[in-house]
Amino acid sequence: MTARIIAFPRRFIDVQWNDSYDVYAVLCPRCVAAYATPRETAAYDWADTHRCDPEMVALLNTTAAPTGGRAA
Ligand SMILES: [Zn+2]
């Protein structure tokens, strides 16, 4: 499986091509919202219009390790 990282200059959201499913996988690392679409334009449109759920972000910030490390 290969993942092509597409730079997204204005946002922190990852847009990656997923060879396994032939879709663009979009993931917001802040609120862990995810979206998948075969259309690149739709992927970027989602990333561009996504708004984080503030409750989810607050919850994740509360439970996340302060060092930024992630347990396996
Ligand atoms: Zn988000």
What is the tens place of the pLDDT at every residue in 43-55? 999 999 999 999 9
* H or E, element range at 47: helix 40-49
Task: Establish if 21 belongs to a structural domain.
Answer: yes
Centre of ligand 1 to C-alpha 36, Å, is 14
What value does the mean pLDDT take over residues 21-50?
A: 94
Centre of ligand 1 to C-alpha 62, Å, is 16
Task: Establish if 15 belongs to a structural domain.
Answer: yes
The residues, any chain, with a CB within 8 Å of residue 11's CB and separated by 6 or more, are 47, 48, 50
Centre of ligand 1 to C-alpha 12, Å, is 9
Distance CA 23, CA 25 (A): 6
Note the pTM of the prediction, 2 decimals: 0.67
Q: How many domains does the chain have?
A: 1
**Strand order across the beta sheet in which 14-18 lies:** 3-6, 14-18, 23-27, 34-37
Task: Establish if 38 belongs to a structural domain.
Answer: yes
Q: What residue numbers bound the domain in which 36 lies?
A: 3-53
